[in-house]
Amino acid sequence: MRKKVILACTQCQSRNYTTNINRSNQSERLEVRKFCKTCGEHTLHRETK
């Protein structure tokens, strides 16, 4: 059972990326360092509701 999630930048709150995660294996929110084209640098992106 995979769920589609949206990743948002923690600095500018821009929603840049979408990905799929397996909810049965992961109970907490996903956090990944990715490139934000709005900020122009690599920042921490977190899963949104």
| pLDDT, greater one: 31 or 49 | 31
Domains of the chain in sequence order: 2-47 (2.20.28.120)
Q: What percent of the chain has pLDDT over 70?
A: 100
- Model-level pTM? 0.84
Give tens-digit pLDDT for 15-31: 999 999 998 888 889 99
In DSSP terms, which residues pair with 4 in a beta bridge? 20
What per-residue confidence (pLDDT) applies to 40?
A: 95
Q: What is the DSSP string of 1-49?
A: -EEEEEEEETTT--EEEEEEEETTT--SPPEEEEEETTTTEEEEEEE--
